[in-house]
A and B are shown apart, each in its own frame.
Chain A
Amino acid sequence: DAGITQSPRHKVTETGTPVTLRCHQTENHRYMYWYRQDPGHGLRLIHYSYGVKDTDKGEVSDGYSVSRSKTEDFLLTLESATSSQTSVYFCAISPGTSTVGELFFGEGSRLTVL
């Protein structure tokens, strides 16, 4: 158990409203990632973090921002949600400081934008 929790697990919101998803880890893992999962697209990387206040963009970062002000929390924000951002969002961590091993995933946050 990598001790990852995501919140909220489900959210329905309206177009144009801001949304923040939270990923919380109980260990001191360095690397954290946000992915979105859509049918036919697998998982696509939105943003990632390699330390406190150290973040970078992934392949589908437009419309998203992130923050990591402390090691255990990695926040994903949709400043103004659109219907195209309806998706399931997964947070993942890499144990310790490794960049070789597997990722551990949270249970996902299902977001619906009406």
Chain B
Amino acid sequence: GDSVTQMEGPVTLSEEAFLTINCTYTATGYPSLFWYVQYPGEGLQLLLKATKADDKGSNKGFEATYRKETTSFHLEKGSVQVSDSAVYFCALRDNTNAGKSTFGDGTTLTVKP
């Protein structure tokens, strides 16, 4: 079945540092790929997405590129802020199987001033 593996955390960075959270996937079809973010006490919300190979998703300074050849969707941000502290989930969605989504285990990011 489908699976998502993302970099284990927690990750602690200083403000303005560069962020990379690695994500790789296995899927039988051509899934859509997502990064979701979760703030304390809340549900997940979409951060960015890419629906086909070589697409780049971006939002709020975060970026990720759908790499089919390496089955990866790494999340990057050039300069993190304290407000970026949250849990980040990589996910794929199988558009051929009732759109079921598979999530990574989540990476907790803490940004210190």
Which residues in A have some Cβ–Cβ distance to B below 8 Å?
A: 31, 33, 35, 40-45, 48, 50, 56, 58-59, 90, 92, 94, 98-108
Give the CA-CA distance A94 to B49 in the complex, in Å.
14
Option from B42, B51, B102, B105 in Cβ contact (under 8 Å) with A107 = B42
Contacts A103-B44, A108-B43 aside, 7 further interface pairs with beta carbons under 8 A come to A31-B98, A41-B105, A43-B101, A98-B99, A101-B32, A101-B51, A103-B93
Most chain A beta-carbon neighbours within 10 Å: one of B95, B99, B104: B99
Q: A99-B93, A100-B51 are in contact. Are A105 and B44 (CB under 8 A)?
A: yes
Give every chain B residue within 8 A of A44 (Cβ-Cβ): 103
Q: A90-B43, A102-B34, A102-B49 are in contact. Are A40 and B105 (CB under 8 A)?
A: yes
Which residues in B have some Cβ–Cβ distance to A below 8 Å?
A: 1, 4, 32, 34, 36, 42-46, 49, 51, 89, 93-96, 98-106
Give every chain A residue within 8 A of B101 (Cβ-Cβ): 33, 43, 45, 92, 103
Q: A100-B51, A106-B43 are in contact. Are A42 and B103 (CB under 8 A)?
A: yes
Q: How far, in Å, is A57 (CB) from chain B's closest CB?
A: 11
Most chain B beta-carbon neighbours within 10 Å: one of A35, A42, A104: A42
Q: Is the Cβ of B95 less than 8 Å from the Cβ of A43?
A: no
Q: A100-B93, A102-B34, A105-B43 are in contact. Are A50 and B98 (CB under 8 A)?
A: yes
